[in-house]
Amino acid sequence: MASSRTVVVAGAGIGGLTAALALAKHNFRVVLLEAAERLEETGAGIQLSPNASRILIALGLRERLEPHIVVPEELRVMSASGRMLARAPLGADPEARYGAPYWVIHRCDLQAALVEAVAATPDIALHLGTRVEDFACDRNGLTVAAHRGGLSIDDHGIALIGADGLWSTLRRRLGHRAVPRFAGHAAWRALVPAEAVPLELSAPAINLWLGSRAHLVSYPVRAARMVNAVAILRDTAPAPGWSAPADGHELLARFPPAKWQASVRALLGAAEHWQKWALHDCAPLRRWGKGPVTLLGDAAHPMLPYLAQGAAMAIEDAAVLGDCLAFTPDDPESALRAYEKSRRGRTTQVQRAARRNGIVYHLGGAAAWLRALALLAMPGPRLIRRYDWVYGWKPADARSTLTR
């Protein structure tokens, strides 16, 4: 018999963990099932723009996150040769404008802080090594079928949230045929000790170099002890997963000294271990869920990283999901449809904006020259403010659309 307040969440990534905390805050019991035996110490830096940081702060995570975050003072956009094209102030500005800070953090520090908060919440049971396979609806909600240690197990709840990422099993089980589409690019990532990089690259700033058909992002993470570097390049052979081994010499050869600033090459050359992952997104789904089942985060709306909003959108989803279920706890199906209605338009808009940025970032020839002119003419603050619609979003915006 399902407990009338148990929600099953599949996937303990950034979205699933945040959803568990948001649901527990509204007095739901959460069974959180994660396929991985242990949560990997891997990943790149993640940008927590104000629309995401405000939610994490509201969930009481500020103290847990603060030892790991870096507050970037500015965003610097440069040409491959290092010419400064635009500088936008960050630091205290986002907090003044949007009411929440702009942070950068390493993915595993964020995940570890969320896991610690989950462990400190008695209403959440996290089970690692448990792969969700299927579900069946019944009069009391649903039964979720999973595999753990070679055994089949069942869990019961009033709702099932598929937060199982890019290659979501539950998306397929819900009948969606769309397969994530490869964007033709791979992202190469490495962490470099701050003392090993040129001084200007260990400063608290987000650096973006735009080259022809390639770009590079760097910023400090792990309380500024390390610098995160992510290079995005054309690729033809996507390796599965998030952490395929990659060859630093091959990468350096694709950033020739004739085109790329010396400090960029110094940063790339200082990294010992490179890993890469193939970039995918999905055309926006017309519906996400059915009955007492829905999707969240990458499972619902995989997106390209060119607006740095993948994790932020999963965090926003989690907050809205908690609010919707709390609003009509006795009618989870209506709550899930209200959640989807409130999220689909926004996540589609962000998916499309990220895809457009990818095109602009990789322009070559005359188009790249025009891009540089446009950036040189743009006042620095405008670079951030044109995304007011992304960063200024608050869960209250979605709450106001809920009606009894």
Name the residues annotated as catalytic.
Answer: 219
CA 402/CA 404 separation, integer angstroms: 7
Binding of ligand FAD by 43 (CB under 6 A): yes
Give the nearer residue to ligand FAD in terms of CB position, either 3 or 42.
42
Give Cβ neighbours of residue 211 (< 8 Å, ≥ 6 apart). Answer: 79, 80, 255, 259, 260
Two tokens, residue 88 = 């936008």
Q: Which is nearer to ligand FAD, 61 or 311 (CB)?
A: 311
Footprint (CB under 6 A) of ligand FAD, residues 48-77: none
Which lies closer to ligand FAD via its Cβ, residue 16 or residue 180?
16
Q: Which helix (H) or strand (E) holds 277?
A: strand 274-281
User: Least distance from C-beta 297 to ligand FAD, angstroms?
Assistant: 2
* Shortest distance (Å) from residue 283 CB to ligand FAD: 17
User: Is residue 107 a contact residue for ligand FAD (CB under 6 A)?
Assistant: yes
> Is residue 174 at the binding interface for ligand FAD, with CB under 6 A as the rule?
no
Candidate ranges 72-80, 164-172, 364-372, 382-390; the one touching ligand FAD (CB under 6 A): 164-172
The count of residues interacting with ligand FAD (CB under 6 A) is 31
Q: Which stretch binds ligand FAD (CB under 6 A): 32-40, 202-210, 285-293, 352-360?
A: 32-40
Q: Applying CB under 6 A, which of residues 32, 105, 118, 163 lies at the interface with ligand FAD?
A: 163
| Closest chain position to ligand FAD (CB) | 13
**Spatial separation of the C-alpha atoms in residues 115 and 121, rounded to whole Å:** 10
229 makes contact with ligand FAD (CB under 6 A) = no
User: For the stretch 326-352, what's the b/e string if a residue is b when 16 or more beta carbons lie within 10 angstroms of its beta carbon?
Assistant: bbebeebbebbbbbbebbbebbbebbe
Q: Considering the rule CB under 6 A, would residue 263 count as an interface residue with ligand FAD?
A: no
User: Which one, 86 or 220, has the nearer CB to ligand FAD?
Assistant: 220
217 forms bridges with which residues in the sheet? 208, 230
Q: Per DSSP, which regions of 80-150 are E strands?
A: 84-89, 103-106, 124-127, 130-138, 141-148
* Binding residues for ligand FAD restricted to 280-319, rule: CB under 6 A: 297-299, 305, 310-311, 314
Q: Which stretch binds ligand FAD (CB under 6 A): 163-171, 320-328, 332-340, 360-368?
A: 163-171
Q: Is 42 in the site for ligand FAD (CB under 6 A)?
A: yes
Cβ burial of 307 (10 Å; 0-12, 13-18, 19+) is buried
Strands 205-210, 214-221: pairing is antiparallel
End-to-end CA distance of the chain: 28
Residues 15, 163 contacting (CB under 8 angstroms): yes
Q: Is 132 a residue that touches ligand FAD (CB under 6 A)?
A: yes
Cα-flanking dihedrals φ and ψ of residue 205, to 5°? -150, 155
Determine if 40 is a binding residue for ligand FAD (CB under 6 A): yes
- Does position 176 interact with ligand FAD (CB under 6 A)? The reply is no
Q: Is 161 helix (H, G, I), strand (E, B) or coil?
A: strand
Based on CB atoms, which residue is closest to ligand FAD, 76 or 171? 171
Position 33 contacts ligand FAD (CB under 6 A): yes
Instruction: For the CB of residue 130, give the shortest distance to ligand FAD in the complex, in Å.
Output: 6
Please answer whether residues 123 and 28 qualify as being in contact, where contact means their C-beta atoms are separated by less than 8 angstroms.
Answer: yes
Instruction: Provide the minimum distance between the beta carbon of 378 and ligand FAD in the complex, in angstroms, as a whole number.
Output: 26
Query: Is 358 an interacting residue with respect to ligand FAD (CB under 6 A)?
Result: no
**Strand, helix or coil for residue 38:** coil
Task: Say if CB 73 and CB 93 are below 8 A apart.
Answer: no
| Tokens found for residue 369 | 């020259």
Q: Which of 2, 8, 16, 246 binds ligand FAD (CB under 6 A)?
A: 16
Q: Which residues in this chain contact ligand FAD in the complex, by CB under 6 A?
A: 10-16, 33-36, 40, 42-44, 107, 131-132, 163-165, 169, 189, 242, 297-299, 305, 310-311, 314
